[in-house]
A and B are shown apart, each in its own frame.
Chain A
Amino acid sequence: GQNIDQPTEMTATEGAIVQINCTYQTSGFNGLFWYQQHAGEAPTFLSYNVLDGLEEKGRFSSFLSRSKGYSYLLLKELQMKDSASYLCAVLDSNYQLIWGAGTKLIIKP
């Protein structure tokens, strides 16, 4: 079967750095997405990786290793507004998105 694993919940301090990991086992791979979802709201796009390596976008960076079936989202200079769930999703061989259950990130002052 297809599987996306993320930690259920993480806690970090305002101003710090946090890394959210995602491991996947899917039938094929055509890219990996990260989305942010605030409580009670819709998911919004953060990043898309299809090649190995690190993609940096402001305070957020996303890393992919296809050989290890692994990605992480790195958030720097954490702000209270970063408190949200972070969803990892993989595009499989049929170009269907397989979603992880999400990681709830709690930021403490």
Chain B
Amino acid sequence: NAGVTQTPKFRVLKTGQSMTLLCAQDMNHEYMYWYRQDPGMGLRLIHYSVGEGTTAKGEVPDGYNVSRLKKQNFLLGLESAAPSQTSVYFCASAGQGATDTQYFGPGTRLTVL
């Protein structure tokens, strides 16, 4: 039982490049989330999903897209990376609702030059 996994763990991009971050969970959770964490700030929600085939915008969705084609996977895409997107990205999943505990992946450290 791996819990929540994220791929890759580290990535360096040049401005304008694109990439996809993969999040996978094996707990059969309905809810999945993508956050970014920057120094001195709280976790900020980028996008989330309440079930397979659904996605919704969070607090800071601009510059990102997501897809949830399979229940266990939640993908975060950056179409044209900018230095302001340099951050640590965390994926999380939760069972059935927003009041359920969120389980986090180990994070992806992204640097955009």
Contacts and interface: CB of A to CB of B under 8 A. Distances in A.
Given A43-B90, A44-B104, A97 B40 contact: no
| 3 nearest A-B pairs in the assembled complex, by CB-CB distance | A99-B42, A95-B98, A42-B104
Contact of A91 (B44, B99, B106): B99
Interface of A: 4, 30-31, 33, 41-45, 48, 50, 87, 89, 91, 95-102
A87 B43 contact: yes
Contacts of A4: 42
Interface residues of B, number: 19
A45 B40 contact: no
Contacts, number: 49
B41 to A, nearest CB: 6
A108 to B, nearest CB: 23
A50 B99 contact: yes
B58 A96 contact: yes
Interface in B74-113: 90, 97-99, 101-107
Given A30-B99, A48-B99, A95-B98, 12 more contacts: A42-B90, A42-B104, A43-B104, A45-B101, A45-B102, A87-B42, A89-B42, A96-B58, A97-B98, A98-B42, A101-B41, A101-B42
A48 B94 CA distance: 14
A31 B101 CA distance: 11
B13 interface: no
B22 interface: no
B105 A42 contact: yes
A31 B99 CA distance: 7
B106 A42 contact: yes
27 contacts: A4-B42, A30-B98, A31-B99, A33-B101, A41-B106, A41-B107, A42-B90, A42-B106, A42-B107, A43-B90, A43-B104, A44-B104, A45-B102, A48-B101, A89-B43, A91-B99, A95-B97, A95-B98, A95-B99, A96-B45, A97-B43, A97-B98, A99-B42, A99-B44, A101-B40, A101-B42, A102-B42
